[in-house]
Chains A and B, each alone.
Chain A
């Protein structure tokens, strides 16, 4: 390995102030980054600099601060578009996050659909890539179809292929599963969709934080993601879409910022991307979002990917060696979001017991209820890793699981 590219986890950890705090008197072991990542000082500093020295409204004032705020906001857009391989920043719409991005597509692009049209999704989708389409189905009568998994726990691409037909208008899938950790073959699915003239929407919430993404190479039509899972702030995310799609789509919300001319009877829309950004945007958050992309770029994805792969295989080696540990999804070629069961200890009990030892994990359905039903479980525990996770924290997780087992008096 080229050592200059290797990630120095101690140095990375020093960037995250929260990682030095304690929880219940124990050092924090934060294994819930798939729900929301922690923030490095670089991001916190960029946001407070903006708020302390440059804040005003954007695109409005003829004064210096408004120019500086607009530059900060539009500058973040340009850097973020480059970060996901987009050529044209006007194809990059700021939203509140992945959920709002998908709702925007379902509402605006979806307005052109009618009964008889079909949307193909997968059973591993997050609720945010299911419910907006259910709402659209109620409005317009479109039919939803769901592709299943292979026995190993990967997307069954043959099933996707068999569901796509002449009535298919859109295929929506997650880039990386937030429960199974698998990466889906997005390009292959996008090509299947395009063969019948359908579009492909990708939920990138769990991909962008962990790997370099190039929307052009993916060949998708819509790409949604959130800042807060990639070291950025909450309350902001993005929708990338090809220019001709955004231009043809009607606005999502109406108000200031998204118009070029307003008369009492009707108005003209602003050009993209502002057509989709009604109202004063989350400016400080956009600055933090841009700083998060800069931060990940400065650490370097080569190092991040290698570190997380190493840590995931270390974690799986240790966890799969525990009696009663059951992993969901494949045990190789996956990212470090690990859903599991442990003996007969309910996920919620595990989360409580681990929390008391400073170890933060998620318990429940992870906004993946249809997937849990598909797997036949009502809840799982989930430990998720990120660039700042250390081997010592994996050891702490394993120790905490031993404690849980002792507390439950072992398993039958």
Chain B
């Protein structure tokens, strides 16, 4: 901690700074793909009753590919940023690719170092810090659980 931080009772917590990275706050404040969707083929609403996070995920799947995707909802920065970042990645992916990504992302949040190192995740690695905050993991997974619900093996 530097002196000016100390003087303000400021932050000396690397894990917390890692959790609230700028990219996450940016997606929270300016979510991507948070909109209506034309020709929706799949839609689901899931919530997290403990903290009131709600995500509606909307997919337009054509020929096994996610042609378009959007979300709606409200909640904490982690749930909203995760949803926003997820939709950016899913657009144009095949359903199988999307589910593989979801699997790697979920393993990263459960603290798997190999998953966290995977280049496949790209920007989504910004959410790796959530693994250090077990009570917040379900916030980060909410949108991904919607995806599983819509096109996962049990859908």
Contact = CB atoms under 8 A, between A and B. Distances in A.
Are A and B co-members of a single complex? yes
A348 interface: yes
Interface in B10-31: 10-11, 13, 15-17, 19-20, 22, 25, 29
A346 B78 CA distance: 10
A407 B29 contact: no
B51 interface: yes
Interface in A362-399: 363-365, 372, 378-379, 399
Given A352-B19, A378-B74, A403-B9, A409 B25 contact: yes
Interface in B42-98: 50-54, 74-78
Given A348-B51, A348-B75, A348-B76, A356 B13 contact: yes
A378 B75 contact: yes
Contact of B52 (A344, A364, A408): A364
Contacts of B76: 346-349
B101 interface: no
A348 B47 CA distance: 14
Contacts of A353: 16, 20
Given A402-B9, A403-B10, A408 B20 contact: yes
A114 B96 CA distance: 56
Given A352-B133, A364-B51, A379-B52, A407 B75 contact: no
Interface in B129-152: 133, 135-136, 139
Main secondary structure of the interface of B (DSSP, over half): mixed
A344 B13 CA distance: 21
Nearest to B73: A378
Interface string A2-17: 0000000000000000
B79 to A, nearest CB: 8
Contact of B9 (A348, A352, A399): A399
A346 B77 contact: yes
A406 interface: yes
Given A344-B29, A378-B52, A379-B52, A403 B77 contact: no
Contacts of B139: 348
A347 B51 CA distance: 8
Contacts of A363: 51
B10 A349 contact: no
Contact of B75 (A346, A352, A408): A346
Nearest to B51: A348
B52 to A, nearest CB: 4
Contacts of B20: 349, 353, 407-408
B51 A352 contact: no
A382 B8 CA distance: 23
Contact of B11 (A344, A345, A406): A406
A374 B74 CA distance: 17
Contacts of A403: 9-11
A229 B52 CA distance: 24
B10 to A, nearest CB: 6
B99 to A, nearest CB: 28
A399 B25 CA distance: 21
Q: Which of A352, A363, A400, A402 has the most CB of B within 10 A?
A: A352
A365 B17 contact: no
Contacts of A344: 29
B10 A356 contact: no
A352 B78 CA distance: 11
A342 to B, nearest CB: 13
Nearest to B15: A356
A396 to B, nearest CB: 8
A290 to B, nearest CB: 33
A179 B119 CA distance: 46
A344 B77 CA distance: 10
A403 B54 CA distance: 27
Q: Which of A345, A349, A372 has the most CB of B within 10 A?
A: A349
A409 B23 CA distance: 12
Contacts of B133: 352
Interface string A327-358: 00000000000000000111111001100100
A372 B74 CA distance: 14
Contacts of A364: 50-52
Contacts of B9: 399-400, 402-403
Contacts of B50: 364
Nearest to A409: B25
A409 B35 CA distance: 26
Nearest to B26: A409
Given A364-B52, A400-B9, 16 more contacts: A346-B76, A348-B53, A353-B16, A364-B50, A378-B74, A378-B75, A402-B9, A402-B10, A403-B9, A406-B8, A407-B11, A407-B16, A408-B20, A408-B25, A409-B22, A409-B25
Interface of B: 8-11, 13, 15-17, 19-20, 22, 25, 29, 50-54, 74-78, 133, 135-136, 139
| Top-7 shortest CB links A-B | A348-B76, A346-B76, A399-B9, A379-B52, A348-B51, A378-B52, A349-B76
14 contacts: A345-B77, A346-B76, A346-B77, A347-B51, A348-B75, A348-B76, A349-B76, A352-B135, A372-B52, A378-B52, A378-B74, A407-B11, A407-B20, A408-B20
